[in-house]
Structure 1
Amino acid sequence: MIAINNLTFRIGSRALYEEANWHIKPGEKIGLIGANGTGKSTLLKIIVGEYSPSEGTVSMSKDIKIGYLNQDLLSYDSHHTILHVAMEAFERQNQLHDEIEVLLKKIETDYSDELINKLSDKQQEFEALDGYNIEYRANEILAGLGFSTEDQHRPLNTFSGGWRMRVMLAKILLQNPDILLLDEPTNHMDLPSIKWLETYLNGFEGAIVIVSHDRYFLDRIVNRIVESRKGKLTIYSGNYTFYLEEKALRSEIQKGEFKNQQAKIKQEERLIERFKAKASKAKMAQSRMKALDKMERVEDVDDDNPTVNFRFKFSKPSGRHVIRIENASKSYPNINILDQAEALIEKGDKIALIGANGKGKSTLLRMIAGTEAFSGKCENGHNVTTTFFAQHQLESLHLDNAILEELQAFAPKHSDTELRSILGCFLFTGDDVFKKIRVLSGGEKSRVALAKSLTTDSNFLILDEPTNHLDIQSVNILIQALEQYEGTFIAVSHDRYFLDSVANKIWFIEDQQIKEYPGTYAEYEEWQAKRLKEIVPGGGIKHAKVEKAKKEEAKPQVSDDKAKQLKKLNQQLQKLEDDVAAQDKLVKEAEAEIAKEEVYSNPQKLKEVNERYHHLKEQLGALQLHWEQLADEILILEG
C-alpha cells in the first residue's frame, strides 16, 4: 500500500531518520509512537508529500486516497455551518446535486429529450454515490463527535480550535479514504467522543496510522506498533500492551548479548595487550585487533522509562476536611451547571472529575480554586494550601528565562540541586535546564509548568488537563509523581490510563449535582456500563434492571411517578421508531420511483415525484430529530 525504503530525513545537520524502512499494508491498524521530538508528525508529513526525504523513497499506488488529520487544521476558518463544512467531503455528490437543481429548473420550460436524458444520467450517478443519504451520514458522524443538532447549523468560525478540529475529523471520515493518518486525534476530545471514535475506527475497513499518547485508545484500536527511535522505525505485531511486553523481552535479550559481547571484548583486549609486544605473537595480536575493530557492536539498552525519585513534601499537612461545597449554584446563558450542589473533599482524596465537554468540569475546578464567581459556599479546611494548574498557565511562563531560572524564581526555598532533581524527573537533564522557555515545544512547556506546580509548598493540587501535550513517557512521569504526592488533588483529564492510575474517587456532574463514585476509574466504568441503558436493535431502549440488596445503595431509587413517566416515554419512543422505519421505507420508494424511465421521461411527473421525495425526506428528518430528543429526555430521567 505504502512503502518507505531507506528513508533519511535531515533537519540541518541532524538526521531525524536514517535509512528507516516501513511497509504499510491494507487494513493494518498502526500506532506510531515515540518520545516528543523523534519525528512522528514529520513522518506523516513525508508520507503525504508535504516534506521530501533527504534520501530514500516513499512509494504508493497512484489512486490511493489518504485522509490526513493534523494539528495545523486548527487554523482552518469558514463562515459556513459545520454541517456544510463536513459535507464538503462529498465533492462529486455536491457537484451533481447543484447540476441536478439547474437541470430541474430548465426542465420547467424545456422538455427536450436531450435535457431529460442528461438529468436521468445525473440522477442515476447521484443515487449510485448514495447522494440522498450524505446529509444523514454527516449528521451521524458530527453527532458522534459531540455536536448537537443546533450546533451543526452554527458557523465554523464561532467554535474554538478544539471543536474545529473535530469538524475537520468528521470531514476526513466522511471522505472514506483508503488510509487514515491521524496525528493526536483525541486532543481536545471528551471521553464520550473518544469512545465513539474508538467504535468508528474499529469498524473502518481501510488502514489507519495513529499518533497518540493515549494508551487506552491505542490498545483498543491498533494491531501493530511502530516505534520511532534513534532515527529508526521498529515494528511490533500487537497493540500497545503487547509492545510493552515484547520490548521488555527484546531489551532483556539485548542486555544479555551486550553483557556477553563486552566480556568477550575485554578478554580479547587483554590477550592483545599481553601478546602485542612479543615478536612471535605480534601477527596474531594484530589479527585479533582487526577482528575486534570489525566486530558489529551490540548497543547497551537505554532506560526509556525514567523513575521519579524526588519526594514531594509540604511543610504543613491539611486538616481532615480539605474543601466543603455547600448550596453551590452556577449557570451561564442557556446552560445550568450546578443547582444547590454539595460535595466534600477529604485529606488524601485523589479525585478524577470526568464527563462530557460542556458539563462544567473546568468551571467546577475554578470554583474550587476561587477564581470563578458562583452562589453558595466553597470553604477551605484547616491549613489547606492550594496550587491550580491549567493550560493557560503555559502563557504565564517567562519566555526569556531559562528553565532552571523559571523554577528558581518560583521556588526560592529549594536548592539548585533539588530543582535540577525535579527537572530531571520531567526529562530536563544536563544542559537542558539552561534552555530558554521561548524555544520549547508545547509539551516541554507543559512539563515545566507541571514541575513548577510540584515545587510549591501546597498540600492540595487542582489539575485541569495536565496530560495535554505530554507524550506517553511524560504521562508516566506525572503518574509516578502523583503516586508519591502525599497531599490531596482533583484532576480533569481525558487520558483514561492516567485517571485509572492516580484516582481513588470519581466525581461527575449529573442533574446539576456533584455525584461521587468511591473507587478507581476502571471500577467506575464497570459500574456505569451496568447503570446505563442499552439501545436494542429494533426495540427501543432496554432498561438495565435495578439491582437489589447490597447494590441498591449504589443506584438511586426511581419514584413511582418517574417510573410511570418513563414507561410512557418508552412507549412513545417505540412507536416513533416504527414511524421512522415506515417513513424511511417511503423515502426509499420515492428514490426508486425517480429512477424509473416513465417518470424521468415525463417532466411533469418527474417534478411531482421530486417534490414528494423532498417532502418525505424532510418528514423523516423531523421524526429522527424527535427520536433523539425523546431518547435524551429518557436518559436524563433515568440518570
Structure 2
Amino acid sequence: MISINNLTFEIGARALYDDANWHIKPGDKVGLIGANGTGKSTLLKIIVGEYSPTSGTVSMAKDLKIGYLNQDLLSYHSDKNIVQVAMEAFERQNQLHSEIEILLQKLETDYSDEVLNKLSDKQMEFEALDGYNIEFRAHEILAGLGFSEEEQKRPLATFSGGWRMRVMLARILLQTPDILLLDEPTNHMDLPSIKWLENYLQAFEGAIVIVSHDRYFLDRIINKTVESRRGKLTLYAGNYSFYLEEKSLREELQGNQFKNQQAKIKQEEKLIERFRSKASKAKMVQSRIKALDRMEKVADVDDDNPEVNFSFKFSKPSGRHVVTLENISKSYPNIEILRNADGLIEKGDKIALIGANGKGKSTLLRIVAEDDNEYEGKSVKGHNVSQTFFAQHQLEALHLENSILQELQTFAPKHTETEIRSILGCFLFTGDDVFKKIKVLSGGEKSRVALAKALTADANFLVLDEPTNHLDMASVNILIQALQQYEGTLIVVSHDRYFLDHVANKIWYIENKDIKEYPGDYQEYEVWNSKRVVKPQAEKPAEKPKEQKKPKVEVSNDTRNLLQKKNKELKQLEDKIATAESEVKKLETALATEEVFSDAEKLKTTTRNYNSSKAAWETLQGDWERLAEEIMALES
C-alpha cells in the first residue's frame, strides 16, 4: 500500500530520520508513537507529499485515496453550515447534483431527447454513487461526533477550534479513503465522542495510521505499533500494551548484550595495555585494536519512563471539608447547566470530573476554583484550604523572556535552586535545558513548565483543567506519578482515560442538571455506567431557596476574641503535629535499618515507641480537625 525505503529527512544539521524503513499494508491499523520532537507529524506530511525527503523514497499506488487529519485544518474557514462543509467530501456527487438541478430547470422549456438523456445519465450516476443518502450519512457522522441537530444548522465559523476539527474529521470519514492518517484525532474531544470514534475506526475496513498520546484509544484500535526513535522506525506486532511488554523484553536483552560487550571491551583493553610495550606482541596488539574499532557497539538502554519522586510542600493541611457546594444553579442564554446542585469535596479526595462537552464540566470546575462567581447558591472553602488552578490559558501567562528556571524561582521563592532543578528534572528539563527561554518552547514544553509551577505552589488543593493536553506519554506518566504522591486534594477535568484511571479515587458527573458522584476509580465507573439506564428526573421542588453568594457577616467582639483564641490553639496543635510527625518518620526510618531489625530487643523497643508515637500523632490530628470545625462554625 505505502512503502517507505531508506528515508532520510534533515532539518538544518539535524537528521529527524536516518535511513528509516516502513511498509504499510492493506488493513493495517498502526499506532505511530514516540516522544514529542521525534518527527511523527512530520512523517505523515512526508507521506502525503507536503514535505520532500532529503533522500530515500515513499511509494504508493497512484489511485490510493488518503484521508489526512491534522491540526493545520483548524485554519479552514467557511460560512456554510457544518452539514454542508462535511458534504464537501462528496465532490463528484455535489457536481452531479448541481448539473441535475440545471438540467431540471432547462427541462421546463426544453423537452428534447438530448436534455432527457443527459438528465437520465446524470441521475443514474448520482444514484450509483449513493447520492440520495449523502446528507443522511453526513448527519449521522456529525451526530456521532457530538453535534446536536440544532448545532448542525450553524455555520462552521461560529464553532471553536476543537469543534471545527471534528467537522474536518467528519468530512474526511465521509470520503471513505483507503487509508486514514490521523494526527491527534482525540484532541479537544469529550469521552462520548472518543468512544464513538473508537467504534467507527474498529469497523473501518481500510488502513489506519494514528498519532496519539491516548494509550487507551490506541489499545482499542491498533493491531501494530511503530515507534519513531533516534531517526529509526521500529515495528511491534501488537497494540500499545503489547508494545510496552515487548519493548521491555527487548530492552532487557539489549541491556544484557551491552553489559557483556562492555566486559569484553574492558578485557580486550587490559590485554592491549599489558602487551602494548612488547615488540614481539606488536602485531597481535594492532590486530586487537583494529578488531575493537570494527566492533559494532551495542548502545545502553535509555529509560524513556523514569520513576520520579516529588517532594510536595504545603505549609498547612486543610480541614476535613475542602469545598462545600450548596444549592448551586447556573445558566447561560438558552441553556441551563446546574439546578439546585449540591457537592462536597473532602480532604484527600482525588476527583475526576467527566462528561460530554456542553454538560458543564468546565463551568463547574471554575465555580469550584472561584474563577466564576456568576451563579446562584453557595460555594464554601473549608478551613486552611489553599488552592492552585491550572488551565490551558495559563500557558499564555508565562513570561516569555524568562528562562524556565527564572520562571519557577519567581513563582516559588521559598524553594531553593536545587529543589527547583529537581522538580524541573522530573518534568524532563535537565542540565542546560533550565536556561531555555520560555519563548522558544513548544506547546508541550510550556505545559510542563506551567504544571511544574502549579506543583510548586503552597497549595493543599489542586484544580486541574485538561492538564495532559500537549503532553507526550512520558510526560503524562510523570504527571501521574506526581499526583499519586501528592497528599493534598484535587479535582481534574481530562479526556485521557488512562490518566484518570491512575489518578482519581472518585468520579463526578453532571446528570439531570445535578452533581452526581461515583465512589470509585474510572474503570469501575465505566463498568457500572455501561449497565445502567439514565432516566430523566422531575424538576427539583422549588421550595429549596436560591441564594446569591452572601458577604461575610460582621462578628461580635466576643466571637472575634474566641476565634483568636481558638486560632492560637490551632497553631499550637499544628506545631505539635509537625513534631509528632517528625518523630514517627524518624522511628519508621530506624525500623528499616539493619542495626534495629537484626536485634530483637532493639526492634521490640523501637516498635513500641513507634506505635505509641503514631497513636499520639493520630490523636493530635483528631483534635486539630475538631478544633478546625469549631472555628469554621464560628466564622460562618
Question: How far 1:558 moved relative to its partner?
Answer: 8.8
Q: Distance in 2 between matches of 1:393 and 1:300?
A: 39
Q: Distance in 2 between matches of 1:207 and 1:30?
A: 8
Q: Distance in 1 between matches of 2:332 and 2:450?
A: 30
Question: How far 1:532 moved relative to its partner?
Answer: 3.5
In the other structure, the counterpart of 2:352 is: 352
Question: How far 1:364 moved relative to its partner?
Answer: 0.6
In the other structure, the counterpart of 1:265 is: 265
In the other structure, the counterpart of 2:380 is: 379
Q: How big is each residue's C-alpha offset from its partner over 1:187-244, in whole Å with a ceiling of 9 and x where there is no partner?
A: 0100000000000000111110000000000000000000000111111000000000
In the other structure, the counterpart of 1:189 is: 189
Query: Does the alignment pair 1:330 with 2:330?
Result: yes
Q: How does 1:562-573 map to 2 (within 5 A)?
A: none
Q: How big is each residue's C-alpha offset from its partner over 1:229-281, in whole Å with a ceiling of 9 and x where there is no partner?
A: 01111110000000000000000000010011111111111111111211221
Runs of 4+ in 1 over 2 A off after TM superposition: 556-559
Name the SS for the 1:88 alignment partner.
Answer: helix
In the other structure, the counterpart of 1:509 is: 510
Name the SS for the 1:167 alignment partner.
Answer: helix
Question: How far 1:557 moved relative to its partner?
Answer: 12
Query: Does the alignment pair 1:319 with 2:315?
Result: no
TM-score, normalisation: structure 1: 0.83
Q: Is the Cα–Cα contact under 8 Å of residues 318 and 382 in structure 1 kept in the other structure?
A: yes
Q: Is the Cα–Cα contact under 8 Å of residues 67 and 180 in structure 2 kept in the other structure?
A: yes
Name the SS for the 1:340 alignment partner.
Answer: strand
Q: Is the Cα–Cα contact under 8 Å of residues 408 and 420 in structure 2 kept in the other structure?
A: yes
In the other structure, the counterpart of 1:246 is: 246
Question: How far 1:13 moved relative to its partner?
Answer: 0.3
Consecutive unaligned residues of structure 1, counting only runs of 5 or more, are 534-555, 560-639
Question: Residue type matched to 2:486 in 1?
Answer: Y
In the other structure, the counterpart of 1:342 is: 342
In the other structure, the counterpart of 1:486 is: 487
In the other structure, the counterpart of 1:90 is: 90
- Aligned pair in 2 of structure 1 residues 557, 45: CA closer, same or farther (>3 Å)? closer
Query: Does the alignment pair 1:427 with 2:466?
Result: no
Question: Residue type matched to 2:498 in 1?
Answer: Y
In the other structure, the counterpart of 2:12 is: 12
Q: Distance in 1 between matches of 2:454 and 2:425?
A: 15
In the other structure, the counterpart of 1:442 is: 443
Q: Distance in 2 between matches of 1:305 and 1:387?
A: 27
Q: How does 1:67-78 map to 2 (within 5 A)?
A: 67-78=67-78
Q: Distance in 1 between matches of 2:24 and 2:313?
A: 49
Q: Is the Cα–Cα contact under 8 Å of residues 504 and 520 in structure 1 kept in the other structure?
A: yes
Q: Distance in 2 between matches of 1:355 and 1:306?
A: 32
In the other structure, the counterpart of 1:116 is: 116
Q: Is the Cα–Cα contact under 8 Å of residues 22 and 233 in structure 2 kept in the other structure?
A: yes
In the other structure, the counterpart of 2:390 is: 389
TM-score, normalisation: structure 2: 0.84
Question: Residue type matched to 1:486 in 2?
Answer: E
Q: Distance in 2 between matches of 1:136 and 1:508?
A: 32
Name the SS for the 1:22 alignment partner.
Answer: strand
Name the SS for the 2:198 alignment partner.
Answer: helix
Q: How big is each residue's C-alpha offset from its partner over 1:306-330, in whole Å with a ceiling of 9 and x where there is no partner?
A: 1222221211000111000001110
Q: Distance in 2 between matches of 1:368 and 1:154?
A: 32
Q: How does 1:413-562 map to 2 (within 5 A)?
A: 413-532=414-533
Q: How does 1:288-299 map to 2 (within 5 A)?
A: 288-299=288-299
Question: Residue type matched to 1:490 in 2?
Answer: I
Q: Distance in 1 between matches of 2:536 and 2:3?
A: 59
In the other structure, the counterpart of 1:63 is: 63
Q: How big is each residue's C-alpha offset from its partner over 1:282-314, in whole Å with a ceiling of 9 and x where there is no partner?
A: 111111111111000000000001122222121
Q: Is the Cα–Cα contact under 8 Å of residues 512 and 537 in structure 2 kept in the other structure?
A: no
Q: Distance in 1 between matches of 2:325 and 2:152?
A: 36
Q: How big is each residue's C-alpha offset from its partner over 1:97-154, in whole Å with a ceiling of 9 and x where there is no partner?
A: 1111111111122111111111111111001000000000000000000001111110
In the other structure, the counterpart of 2:219 is: 219
In the other structure, the counterpart of 1:54 is: 54
- Aligned pair in 2 of structure 1 residues 381, 205: CA closer, same or farther (>3 Å)? same
Identity %: 79
Name the SS for the 1:302 alignment partner.
Answer: coil
Q: Distance in 2 between matches of 1:36 and 1:318?
A: 37
Q: How big is each residue's C-alpha offset from its partner over 1:548-568, in whole Å with a ceiling of 9 and x where there is no partner?
A: xxxxxxxx9999xxxxxxxxx
In the other structure, the counterpart of 1:626 is: none
Question: Residue type matched to 1:265 in 2?
Answer: I
Name the SS for the 1:281 alignment partner.
Answer: helix
Question: Residue type matched to 2:443 in 1?
Answer: G
Name the SS for the 2:279 alignment partner.
Answer: coil
Q: Distance in 1 between matches of 2:459 and 2:74?
A: 36
Q: Is the Cα–Cα contact under 8 Å of residues 90 and 174 in structure 2 kept in the other structure?
A: yes
Q: Distance in 2 between matches of 1:72 and 1:441?
A: 16
- Aligned pair in 2 of structure 1 residues 38, 462: CA closer, same or farther (>3 Å)? same
Q: How big is each residue's C-alpha offset from its partner over 1:362-403, in whole Å with a ceiling of 9 and x where there is no partner?
A: 101110111212111100111000000001100100011111
Q: How does 1:196-211 map to 2 (within 5 A)?
A: 196-211=196-211
Q: How big is each residue's C-alpha offset from its partner over 1:468-492, in whole Å with a ceiling of 9 and x where there is no partner?
A: 1111111000000000000000000
In the other structure, the counterpart of 1:633 is: none
Q: Is the Cα–Cα contact under 8 Å of residues 392 and 467 in structure 2 kept in the other structure?
A: yes
Please identify, of 108-117 and 374-383, the stretch whose mean Cα deviation from structure 2 is larger.
Answer: 108-117
- Aligned pair in 2 of structure 1 residues 389, 121: CA closer, same or farther (>3 Å)? same
Question: Residue type matched to 1:111 in 2?
Answer: Y
Q: Distance in 2 between matches of 1:423 and 1:178?
A: 44
Name the SS for the 1:285 alignment partner.
Answer: helix
Q: Is the Cα–Cα contact under 8 Å of residues 313 and 486 in structure 1 kept in the other structure?
A: no
In the other structure, the counterpart of 2:548 is: none
Q: Distance in 2 between matches of 1:326 and 1:469?
A: 35
Q: Is the Cα–Cα contact under 8 Å of residues 313 and 485 in structure 1 kept in the other structure?
A: no
Name the SS for the 1:366 alignment partner.
Answer: helix
Question: How far 1:462 moved relative to its partner?
Answer: 0.2
Q: Is the Cα–Cα contact under 8 Å of residues 424 and 434 in structure 2 kept in the other structure?
A: yes
Q: Distance in 2 between matches of 1:323 and 1:397?
A: 28
Q: Distance in 1 between matches of 2:301 and 2:190?
A: 37
Q: How big is each residue's C-alpha offset from its partner over 1:65-94, in whole Å with a ceiling of 9 and x where there is no partner?
A: 111000011111111110100000000000
Number of corresponding residues = 537
Name the SS for the 1:341 alignment partner.
Answer: strand
Q: Distance in 1 between matches of 2:40 and 2:74?
A: 19
Question: Residue type matched to 1:411 in 2?
Answer: A
Question: Residue type matched to 1:173 in 2?
Answer: L
Provide the aligned C-alpha RMSD in A: 1.1
Consecutive unaligned residues of structure 2, counting only runs of 5 or more, are 539-636
